[in-house]
Amino acid sequence: MARLGFIGAGPVGTAFAVNLAQRGYQVVGIFDVNREAADRLAGDVAGSRVFDQAQALVEAADIVFVTTPDDMIAKVAGALTWRAGKAAVHCSGATTVHAFDSAAAQGAAVGAIHPCQSFAGRDQAIANLPGATFAVEAEEPMRTTLTGVAKALGGDVVYLTSDDKALYHAAACIAAAYAYTLVDVATDLWKSFGKTKAEATKAYVPLLQGTVNNIASVGFPGCPSGPIMRGDVKTIERHFVALRKHAPDVLPLYKALGLRTIPVGLAKGTLSEGKAAELKALLERTE
């Protein structure tokens, strides 16, 4: 069994180290500029220890996960000495394996395994990593090794090339990171009618859970609901009046999302071509 090392003991490094150790992988050590984070992770993984130098960890491990912030991956790996028999892996969605060009030039195997999941904190990351879909960018034999890691974590695998990575990550941002933004915008609107953001958030959690359930159980194009699906032009006009009065800065976002929803309604079959044209004209109208 390959010996694993982790440079970077944030939520992602922690989630991989703890879950892989629980599944029989040998995690030998951790290095982090934040000693407290490294100590905490080593305390959670029996048989591992904290290293004072990243290079010593490279010597002790076969596969080194560089789970630092994205901008540090190439810098951290580029400052280390590698050789054949060693492997460098990162978990970034947007960064390609070319961040490890210097390690590869020295004979190391290189790869990336990105969990398609959102990690808000350490404990939540440990709980949420298993079952994610993992995007793997690697040549053989690392492709097989990282596929094994994904399978051990109970996840599906998608294989990407370097060219795919930025678009793949932009898509994940739209689906998840910007979903947080949309909820932030929506919950702020409640303040205009005298309610708190906390009340709004409490109301939206079951709404969002129901939405996710509909995506999972019904899928596209059948799952979406809302006034555009029904062709409710008058309702959209009322939204415009309210937003123009209370949150005019939100109108461009509302219009862009509304326009992008029209083809979904047409695909679902609940929105007629006539109502779609009316809605399009309304949503494209400049104020």
Ligand X SMILES: NC(=O)c1ccc[n+]([C@@H]2O[C@H](COP(=O)([O-])OP(=O)(O)OC[C@H]3O[C@@H](n4cnc5c(N)ncnc54)[C@H](OP(=O)(O)O)[C@@H]3O)[C@@H](O)[C@H]2O)c1
Closer by beta carbon to ligand X, 136 or else 262:
136
- The contact mask relative to ligand X for 111-150 (x = CB under 6 A, - = no) is ---xx--xx-------------------------------
Binders of ligand X in range 22-61 (CB under 6 A): 31-34, 37
Closer by beta carbon to ligand X, 66 or else 108:
66
The answer to whether the beta carbons of residues 254 and 239 sit under 8 Å apart is yes
Min. distance of Cβ 80 from ligand X in angstroms?
Answer: 10
Closer by beta carbon to ligand X, 165 or else 255:
165
User: From the list 8, 29, 224, 258, which residue makes contact with ligand X (rule: CB under 6 A)?
Assistant: 8
Nearest to 30 by CA among 39, 18, 21: 39
Closer by beta carbon to ligand X, 11 or else 224:
11
Q: How many helices (H) and strands (E) does the chain have?
A: 14, 8
Dist. CA 3–CA 40, nearest whole Å: 20
Is residue 101 within the footprint of ligand X (CB under 6 A)?
Answer: no
Residues whose CB is less than 8 angstroms from the CB of residue 14 and which lie 6 or more positions away in sequence, other chains included = 37, 40, 41, 44, 122, 125, 126
Residue 61: how many CB atoms within 10 A of its CB? 23
Is residue 155 within the footprint of ligand X (CB under 6 A)?
Answer: no
H runs (alpha helix) in 61-164: 70-78, 101-105, 122-128, 142-152
Residues making contact with ligand X (CB under 6 A): 7-13, 31-34, 37, 67-70, 72, 76, 90-93, 114-115, 118-119
